[in-house]
Amino acid sequence: MASEKIPHLKLEQYLLNELPPREMEEISRKIKTDKVLNKKIDELKKSNHEILKKYDPINMASQIQNKLNLQKAQLENNNKKSIFSSKLYLYGGLAFSSVLVLFLLLPMGARQDLNNSEHYNKIELTRLKGESEKLFVYIQRNNKIDLLSNEAIVYEGDKLQLAYKSEFDYGLILSIDGRGAITLHLPHEKNASLKINKNEKTGLPYSYTLDDAPVFEKFFFLTSEKEFYVTDIMKIVNKFANDTAIVFNSNLPLDENIKQTTFIVSKGVKK
């Protein structure tokens, strides 16, 4: 697979871990030996960071939804006109590559809705992943504690309280913010046991105050019936957190025996 024959779209999908495992491995091997491809990947990462910085995907998804609603009647009368081409028309001021990256940076749920004419009014940016495993995020405001929904807007200085419920024996909770900073919430110490309370809702005994990191904070609740270790997880997380676009859209590249439940809060800006 020569570097010049790998389509731009495929490289973007590679950066977002959206290719089949075999293709991911093949491109990874090429990157190690192909200097041209390695440079191209670095340039794409830099470009994606710039686009993400300039065009926040959360706000962009909202704008796309509004634009699509305005054009719904027109699109329904012209079945040959694709949703993707309408986005290109609506954002003609952006370079094609920028529109493509913004489309890729939208979480999968939003992309599916944007391509389904029956879901104009139901764009979900990120869904809470995990069924039996549950991660609860509460906020303390005005002497009240409220349960947040996924993608809720929060602000610098807000205090969050985390709770979990799991059918497994071992668990870990961490978060990565819009700067790529990592916080370990459970266990509180890296050398502590990952043994957790099983089949009962358990709140963490301490709150978490949000700093001024932009755009988002994403929480990962990792659980398994088999014991795993903080040091092994953090080696992967430290590398993963280098690209916040991938953090926003993807799960951690972990063994399938470790189940992942994610929850995102969107960072608003106080006026």
**pLDDT tens sequence across 113-172:** 444 433 333 333 333 444 579 999 999 888 788 999 999 999 999 999 999 999 999 999
pLDDT cut 70: percent of the chain above it: 66
- Count the neighbouring beta carbons within 10 Å of the beta carbon of residue 32: 8
The pLDDT value given to residue 49 = 64
Who has greater pLDDT, 223 or 269?
223
Beta-ladder partners of 163: 136, 203
The pLDDT value given to residue 81 = 38
User: CA of 264: how far to CAs of 30, 34, 81, 102, 180, in Å?
Assistant: 33, 36, 33, 18, 14
Who has greater pLDDT, 6 or 17?
6
**Residue 249 predicted with pLDDT over 60:** yes
**Residue 60 predicted with pLDDT over 70:** no
The pLDDT value given to residue 70 = 52
Phi, psi of 54 (to 5 degrees): -85, -40
The pLDDT value given to residue 93 = 37
Under the banding of pLDDT at 50, 70 and 90, the label for residue 217 is very high
Is it true that domain 134-267 has CATH number 2.30.30?
no
**Residue 265 predicted with pLDDT over 90:** yes
Is beta strand 159-165 parallel, antiparallel or unpaired with respect to 202-203?
antiparallel
The predicted model scores a pTM of 0.55
**Summary mean pLDDT of the chain:** 75
Per DSSP, the residues of the chain read --GGGS-HHHHHHHHTT-S-HHHHHHHHHHHHH-HHHHHHHHHHHHHHHHHHHHS-HHHHHHHHHHHHHHTHHHHHT-TTS-HHHHHHHHTTTS-HHHHHHHHHHS-HHHHHHHT-GGGTT---S---B-SSSEEEEEEEETTEEEEPPTT-EE-TT-EEEEEEE-SSSEEEEEEEETT--EEEEESSSTTS--B---SS-EE-SS-EE--S--SEEEEEEEEESS---HHHHHHHHHHHTT-HHHHHH------TTSEEEEEEEEEP---
In 3D space, the residue among 102, 98, 105 whose CA is nearest the CA of residue 18 turns out to be: 105
How much is the average pLDDT of 9-17? 74
Who has greater pLDDT, 265 or 42?
265
> Is the backbone of residue 180 left (phi > 0), alpha (psi -120 to 50) or beta?
left
Q: Quote the tokens at residue 84.
A: 């993707």
In 3D space, the residue among 162, 166, 271, 151 whose CA is nearest the CA of residue 217 turns out to be: 151
Domain ranges in the chain are 3-54, 57-119, 134-267
For 39-49, what is each residue's pLDDT tens digit? 888 887 777 66
The pLDDT value given to residue 54 = 55
For 79-118, what is each residue's pLDDT tens digit? 433 433 333 333 333 444 444 445 444 444 444 444 443 3
Who has greater pLDDT, 99 or 14?
14
Is beta strand 170-177 parallel, antiparallel or unpaired with respect to 153-154?
unpaired
221 with 227: CB under 8 angstroms?
no
- Count the neighbouring beta carbons within 10 Å of the beta carbon of residue 119: 15
How much is the average pLDDT of 206-224? 93
246 with 193: CB under 8 angstroms?
no
Is beta strand 259-267 parallel, antiparallel or unpaired with respect to 153-154?
parallel
The pLDDT value given to residue 142 = 81
